[in-house]
Amino acid sequence: QVQLVESGGGLVQAGGSLRLSCAASGLTFNNYAMGWFRQVPGKEREFVAAISSNGNTIYYKDSVKGRFTISRDNAKNTGYLQMNSLESEDTAVYYCAARLVGARTRDSDYDYWGQGTQVTLSS
């Protein structure tokens, strides 16, 4: 059974940082690309970042470029999203997702999803 478990969310002040983790089990992690998506109540889920299975291909949503960094540690079966210079617009539930090999920006291209972790920016 495939499981993706996110952690690292929380309450943070604007300008602060958080690192989200996504621990994967039940799959051969180094065969899977990982994506991070986020969703605000009442809005569609949106793409944030994605990394290919070997880490060579990375995509970012324009508004997070230069602030967020996606990475992975295949030895630990874990993916990461380092978020710096957080802004109020980054408040959302963040989800990690997995699909075979290639990184994609559409959520419909992903096969497995975590339960999400809340990130809230305080004013």
pLDDT digits (tens, 9 = 90+) for 20-34: 999 999 999 999 999
pLDDT digits (tens, 9 = 90+) for 33-48: 999 999 999 999 999 9
The answer, yes or no, to whether residue 107 has pLDDT greater than 80, is: yes
Q: Which of 98, 113, 95 is nearest to 53 (CA)?
A: 98
98: β partners = 34, 112
Q: Which of 86, 120, 102, 114 is nearest to 33 (CA)?
A: 102
pLDDT digits (tens, 9 = 90+) for 52-95: 999 999 999 999 999 999 999 999 999 999 999 999 999 999 99
Look at residue 96 in the predicted model and tell me its pLDDT. 98
Look at residue 101 in the predicted model and tell me its pLDDT. 81
